[in-house]
Amino acid sequence: MKLTRRNAMVMGAGAFVALGLPLRASASLADDAIATFTGGAEMADSGITLTAPEIAENGNTVPVEVSAPGAAEILVLATGNPTPAVATFKFGALAASQTASTRIRLAGTQDVVAIAKMPDGTFAKASSTVKVTIGGCGG
Amino acid sequence: MAKGVKPRVKVPKKAAAGEAITIKTLISHKMESGQRKDDDGNLIPRSIINRFTCDFNGENVIDVTLEPAISTNPYLEFAATVPEAGEFKFTWYDDDGSVYEESKKIAIG
């Protein structure tokens, strides 16, 4: 087959589709996890803060902080990890503020998502893109 | 039981009644994610701490579900209200069924 401009374009598009598949697969895992948590409810954009670095040199320990005043529960997801779930924080009666920080693993550059469940059954969502130089899943 | 598991907790010794304090906890644990392979290409089985709770005089402060995406030596920082003198109780639950406990007293003053 002669390599024409048209053939090159077709092959290029094919490669993109092939590469895109695994990414999309894990993104839908994250969507599933969100749907399980919220039951498909609408999510507000305010009322929750997710603090994560813009660039993480080492994906093995990425410090993140979530804060959602008044929330009953906060779910943290890493949309690009092989398993998106990261942690669920449930706040009890003696929690002084609905804030928690921890260190997480990120497989690569991706969006980290935090969803807060309010006591009245509404949800709030925040997300932040983290660029990861070295992935943290030992692959 | 995973080897070398050592919980460490930082709680102020004293607080005013009703004051909000910050608690920092760290437990040494390898948090094997179940994604890694050993030199022969076999999958290393998952072995993590899957739950952490903190209670003060029997009342819950925070209950965290941890997944494999939490880093080695899980570190958690959160805030608690101290209504009276008493004891914070911290509990970590391992995948293998072990439970690690730590407690810290706090005085009002």
Residue B77 lies in a domain: yes
A127-137 pLDDT tens trace: 999 999 877 66
* CATH code assigned at A50: 2.60.40.2470
Total domains in chain A come to 1
| Parent domain of A25 | 5-130
Residue A136 lies in a domain: no
> Full-prediction pTM beyond 0.80?
yes
Query: Which band of pLDDT confidence, cut at 50, 70 and 90, is reported for residue B104?
Result: very high
A102-122 pLDDT tens trace: 999 999 999 999 999 999 989
Residue of chain B whose alpha carbon sits nearest to that of A106: B69
Residue B70 lies in a domain: yes
Q: What mean pLDDT is reported for chain B?
A: 92
By the 10 Å C-beta count (0-12 exposed, 13-18 middle, 19+ buried), B73 is classed as middle
Judge contact between B100 and B91, C-beta under 8 A: yes
Instruction: Name which of A60, A74, A76 is nearest A112 in CA terms.
Output: A76
Gap from A16 CA to chain B (nearest CA, Å): 26
Cβ of B81 within 8 Å of Cβ of A95? The answer is yes
Residue A106 lies in a domain: yes
B59-96 pLDDT tens trace: 999 999 999 999 999 999 999 999 999 999 999 999 99
B10 CB within 8 Å of a chain A CB: no
Element (H, E) at A36: helix A5-38
For residue A24, give the amino acid letter: R
A130 CB within 8 Å of a chain B CB: no
| Parent domain of B97 | 6-108
Total domains in chain B come to 1
* CATH code assigned at B18: 2.60.40.10
The better pLDDT of the pair A66, A22 is held by: A66
Residue A135 lies in a domain: no
The better pLDDT of the pair A17, B58 is held by: B58
CB atoms within 10 A of CB A4: 9
Residue A68 lies in a domain: yes
Please state, in angstroms and rounded to a whole number, the distance separating the CA atoms of residues A34 and A78.
11
